[in-house]
Amino acid sequence: MRPDVAEHLGQWLGAVDAVRLNGALHSIESFPVKVQQPVPGGLGRALDDACQGLQVELDGLIVARAPAARAPRGRGGSTPVEAPDPEAEADVAAHGQRYQGLQKQMEARLGTVRAQMRQWLAQGSPALRQLAALDAVMEQMLAAREQKLWALLPGCLEGRMGHWRRLHAQQLEASGQDDVPQQWRQPGGWLVPFEQDVRALWQAEVQVRLQPIMGLRDAARNENR
């Protein structure tokens, strides 16, 4: 039998965390629950717009590529001085650093939108106010563990780049062709599927990290039904 959510959560929280969470839950339960208030008019649309806009924004981050590195002057070979340096673009460390930088941007935007959504929910019914308070507690308690796990993702890029580069080398050996770095990012070049893997990893991360925000939105929707 697979462990349930509570069991998974128990593996993330220590004794001190459990005491803090218990105290927060007792405080949240003391919120008044007799008077039911409808979700303020327009709040549902604002929540939808915030979620959709955030997803479009985060998906767009990975599409915009950093300025391509240029081949240094004085380098031998056929690479023009002002042409993008293919060796630099094949540097997995550079891709990992860029991914980490994008993750920081994502964290900042997610934190801002999530806090804004809690403020909106706090204008609603007692149940929504309780949810907003609980979400704030959970975000604070789990943030450090989550960040450690997300920080592992850029390391996946090394394996994917190695896979495509090995496949490229095997194809060259089988065909007897010379390697032409200037073709790595052209159609059929091995950097193209690697960058597709990077985008797929990013989009998967975005979907998972949006779940708490989507949950707040769905709770407000259900409150109106």
Q: Confidence band (pLDDT; 50, 70, 90) for 178?
A: very high
Whether 60 shows a pLDDT value over 80: the answer reads yes
Whether 71 shows a pLDDT value over 60: the answer reads no
Given a contact cutoff of 8 angstroms between Cβ atoms, the answer to whether 216 and 135 are in contact is yes
**Which of 74, 62, 195, 213 minimizes the C-alpha distance to 131?**
213
pLDDT value of residue 81: 47
Whether 192 shows a pLDDT value over 60: the answer reads yes
Q: Confidence band (pLDDT; 50, 70, 90) for 80?
A: very low
Whether 169 shows a pLDDT value over 70: the answer reads yes
Which letter does DSSP use for residue 152 in this model? Answer: T
**Percent of the residues in the chain that have a pLDDT greater than 90, as a whole number:** 51
* pTM attached to this predicted model: 0.81
SS3 124: coil
Q: What is the pLDDT of residues 7-56, one digit of tens each?
A: 766 677 777 777 777 777 777 777 665 455 555 556 778 888 999 999 99
Given a contact cutoff of 8 angstroms between Cβ atoms, the answer to whether 202 and 62 are in contact is yes
pLDDT value of residue 153: 95
- Give start and end residues of each alpha helix (H) in the chain: 5-12, 15-29, 43-63, 86-89, 92-121, 126-150, 156-175, 191-209, 211-223
Q: What is the pLDDT of residues 199-216, one digit of tens each?
A: 999 999 999 999 999 999
**Which of 184, 162, 158 minimizes the C-alpha distance to 172?**
184
Calculate mean pLDDT across residues 181-206: 94
Distance CA 127, CA 4 (A): 24
Whether 72 shows a pLDDT value over 80: the answer reads no
pLDDT value of residue 41: 58
Calculate mean pLDDT across residues 135-147: 90
Q: Confidence band (pLDDT; 50, 70, 90) for 2?
A: low
pLDDT value of residue 1: 56
